[in-house]
Amino acid sequence: MPFVTVGTENSAPIDLYYEDHGSGQPIVLIHGFPFNGASWEKQVGPLLAAGYRTITYDRRGFGSSAQPSFGYDYDTFAADLDVLMTELNLRDAVLVGHSMGTGEVTRYLGTYGSQRVSRAVLLAPLAPFLLQTPDNPEGVDKSLFEGFQRAIIDDRFAYLTNFCEAFFNYQENKGTRVSEEAFRAHWEIGTRASAKGTHDSVDAWQTDFRGDVARIDVPVLIVQGDKDAVLPYPKTGQRLQPMLPGSQLITLKGAPHGTPWTNPEEVNQAIMEFIGSPTMARA
């Protein structure tokens, strides 16, 4: 199992698990909360078949990566991504983030620039700024995030059930776009995450990305379902697109938050056309 070391805590290394497959232009896929790199299984196969190199990794605290007691903020997450990009010496890379993973993409480009990156894809984005403040009245009240954290402390496993319900719009899509087995698998992956990392990540969701957005200088594709019950479409993707001149917004009608799983054909087609594989997209 390949790992890259991004730091230490006391006597233990902080290692990130990653998978690196294929050849060609590299595409780095950054997963959402509270899952891991395996959540990209419906994208990795088509991308490999189209001749791309795919790199997935598990964010610190999640999946098979180390579970330190600190570092669950976007400055650290972006620094972890930078270590991976540097260690693998990636060039002309496409960064693809889903949900919480879009925060890494946005903060990375805002902090480290685009020397290693040619394009970015944001699926159900967290940016520009989710928290309601005097200068951000479009945001969400802080009490909602505090409620999430109380629920995680009280019963993390019950919280994960509720989260997966919202992630898939499960009552609407079960038996069609998502099976009971897929629901259980996602829940089980979430239970293996760090309890502290699960809790502290809620603080990271309140990050102000507006400064990062202004520094992004690569083409950006935004894809989001208009029935997203986790990151409301009017407060995120719909609001973000005008802040990125030249960006493209694709709205998936009736789609939930977890589109890489529930709407893989539409997501894959959008990515393929954006990165230059229209033949594979049509196929």
Q: What is the pLDDT of residue 13?
A: 98
Q: Which of 31, 186, 199, 257 is catalytic?
A: 257
Q: What secondary structure does DSSP assign to 195-254, as a single string?
A: HHHHHHHHHHTT-B-HHHHHH--S-EEEEEETT-SSS-GGGTHHHHGGGSTT-EEEEETT
Q: What is the pLDDT of residue 280?
A: 42
Rounded alpha-carbon distances, angstroms, from residue 202 to 100, 129, 257 = 10, 13, 17
Residue 97, pLDDT > 70, answer yes
Check if the beta carbon of residue 262 is closer than 8 Å to that of residue 173.
Answer: yes
Q: What is the mean pLDDT of the chain?
A: 96
Range of the structural domain that residue 227 is part of = 3-282
Q: What is the pLDDT of residue 277?
A: 64
Q: What secondary structure does DSSP assign to 149-180, as a single string?
A: HHHHHHHHHHHHHHHHHHHHTHHHHBTTTB-H
- Segment 105-110 shows an average pLDDT of 98
DSSP state of 14: E
Residue 281, pLDDT > 60, answer no
Biggest alpha carbon–alpha carbon distance for the chain: 51
Residue 187, pLDDT > 90, answer yes
Check if the beta carbon of residue 148 is closer than 8 Å to that of residue 159.
Answer: yes
CATH code: domain of residue 232: 3.40.50.1820
Counting the structural domains of the chain, the total is 1
Residue 199 annotated to the active site: no
Residue 283, pLDDT > 80, answer no
Residue 64 annotated to the active site: no
Q: Which of 99, 194, 201, 277 is catalytic?
A: 99
Residue 282, pLDDT > 90, answer no
Reported as a pLDDT band with limits 50, 70 and 90, residue 1 is confident
Q: Each residue of 144-170: pLDDT tens digit?
A: 999 999 999 999 999 999 999 999 999
Residue 39 annotated to the active site: no
Q: In what order do the strands lie in the sheet with 3-9?
A: 3-9, 12-21, 53-57, 26-30, 93-98, 117-123, 220-225, 248-252
Q: What is the pLDDT of residue 7?
A: 98
Q: Each residue of 228-254: pLDDT tens digit?
A: 999 999 999 999 999 999 999 999 999
Calculated CA dihedral for residues 26, 31, 36, 41, nearest 10 degrees: -60
How much of the chain, in percent, has pLDDT values that exceed 90?
96
Q: Which of 194, 228, 247, 277 is catalytic?
A: 228
Q: Each residue of 50-91: pLDDT tens digit?
A: 999 999 999 999 999 999 999 999 999 999 999 999 999 999
Q: Each residue of 30-49: pLDDT tens digit?
A: 999 999 999 999 999 999 99
What pTM, to 2 d.p., does this model score?
0.96
